[in-house]
C-alpha cells in the first residue's frame, strides 16, 4: 500500500498503490506506490525515457493506468470516464517544457482564453484573476506582450500563471526548465517552490539534481521500471534509464 505521507500536513490528493503503467504493450513502470499531500513539493528524478513523463500523464489521464489503484484529486484515474477528464484537469495546473502558449495573442488574451473556456464570465472577476496570477509570477507588467516578445523564462512564467488560473490544488510540471538557461531555471524553480508553500502541491519531473539540493522537496527516483522514494538528494541515482 502507498505510504500515507503528507509532510505539509494536508489531506492526501494523490494515492497510487501497486500501479503499473504500459505504453505500446511495454511496461514503463510497475509496483508504483505513491502518496502526495496538499502543499508538498515532489521531484520525479530520472533520465530521459525513465518513465517520469508517463507517470505524470497518468495523473491527468493522458495515458491510462494499466493496473493497480490510482486516485488523483478524488478521481479514480484507473477507471476514469472520458467525460470526467475535463473536470479532473480543471482542478490542476499543467506546465510543459515547451510553454504551449497561443502565439497569435498577447499574454492577457492567453489567460483570458483559458478562463472563458473553463466557465468564467464576470469581467471584473476575470480581470482580477489575470492580474493576480501574473503578480504571483512577477509578470504583471507584461500582459500586453506577445509570446515572441518574451524570453524563454518569461514565457514559462506566463505558463505557470496559466496553470494557476483556476486555483488548483495540484500543479504537474514536466521538465519545466528544460529549455532555459541555469539562472532563469532557478527563478522558475523559486516560483514553483513558493507556490507549494501557499498550499498547492507541485509534482515536478526533472533530471537536474542541483534543483533538489537548492530547493528541497521529496524525491521519487524513477528508473529501471520503478519509482521509489529517495531519502536524500546525495543518494539520488540518475544513471539508470
pLDDT digits (tens, 9 = 90+) for 115-167: 998 889 999 999 999 999 999 999 999 999 999 999 999 999 999 999 999 99
CATH match of 12-232 with 3.40.50.300: yes
Domain boundaries, the chain: 12-232
Strand 26-37's sheet: what is its strand order? 26-37, 12-23, 67-72, 75-76
CA atoms within 13 A on the CB side of 69: 9
Supply the mean pLDDT for the chain: 88
* pLDDT attached to residue 118: 86
Q: Read off the pLDDT band of 110 (50, 70, 90).
A: very high
Phi–psi pair at 167, nearest 5 degrees: 50, 60
Rounded alpha-carbon distances, angstroms, from residue 57 to 7, 41, 123, 235: 24, 18, 33, 26
The pLDDT of 22-46, averaged and rounded, is 93
According to DSSP, the β-strands at 12-23 and 67-72 are antiparallel
CA atoms within 13 A on the CB side of 237: 10
Q: pTM of whole model > 0.95?
A: no
pLDDT digits (tens, 9 = 90+) for 155-180: 999 999 999 999 999 999 999 988 88
* pLDDT attached to residue 209: 82
Query: Distance between CA 196 and CA 8 in Å, rounded?
Result: 9
3 state DSSP class of 160: helix
> Is the pLDDT at 11 greater than 60, yes or no?
yes
pLDDT digits (tens, 9 = 90+) for 61-107: 999 999 999 999 999 999 999 999 999 998 999 998 888 899 999 99
Q: Read off the pLDDT band of 213 (50, 70, 90).
A: confident
> Is the pLDDT at 189 greater than 90, yes or no?
yes
Amino acid at each position: 500500500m502507498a505510504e500515507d505521507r503528507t509532510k505539509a500536513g494536508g489531506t492526501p490528493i494523490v494515492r497510487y498503490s501497486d500501479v503499473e503503467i504500459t505504453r505500446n504493450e511495454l511496461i514503463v513502470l510497475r509496483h508504483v506506490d505513491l502518496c502526495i499531500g496538499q502543499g508538498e513539493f515532489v521531484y520525479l528524478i530520472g533520465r530521459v525515457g525513465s518513465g517520469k513523463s508517463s507517470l505524470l500523464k497518468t495523473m491527468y489521464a493522458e495515458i491510462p493506468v494499466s493496473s493497480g489503484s490510482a486516485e488523483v484529486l478524488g478521481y479514480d484515474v484507473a477507471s476514469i470516464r472520458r467525460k470526467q477528464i475535463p473536470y479532473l484537469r480543471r482542478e490542476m495546473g499543467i506546465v510543459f517544457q515547451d510553454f504551449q502558449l497561443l502565439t497569435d495573442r498577447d499574454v492577457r488574451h492567453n489567460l483570458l482564453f483559458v478562463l472563458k473556456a473553463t466557465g468564467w464570465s464576470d469581467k471584473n472577476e476575470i480581470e482580477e484573476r489575470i492580474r493576480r496570477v501574473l503578480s504571483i509570477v512577477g509578470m504583471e507588467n507584461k500582459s500586453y506582450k506577445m509570446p515572441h516578445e518574451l524570453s524563454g523564462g518569461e514565457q514559462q512564467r506566463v505558463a505557470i500563471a496559466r496553470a494557476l488560473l483556476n486555483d488548483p490544488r495540484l500543479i504537474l510540471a514536466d521538465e519545466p526548465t528544460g529549455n532555459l538557461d541555469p539562472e532563469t531555471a532557478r527563478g522558475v524553480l523559486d516560483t514553483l517552490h513558493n507556490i507549494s508553500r501557499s498550499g498547492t502541491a507541485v509534482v515536478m519531473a526533472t533530471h537536474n539534481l542541483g534543483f533538489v539540493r537548492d530547493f528541497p522537496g521529496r524525491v521519487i527516483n524513477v528508473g529501471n521500471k520503478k519509482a521509489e522514494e529517495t531519502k536524500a538528494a546525495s543518494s539520488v541515482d540518475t544513471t539508470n534509464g
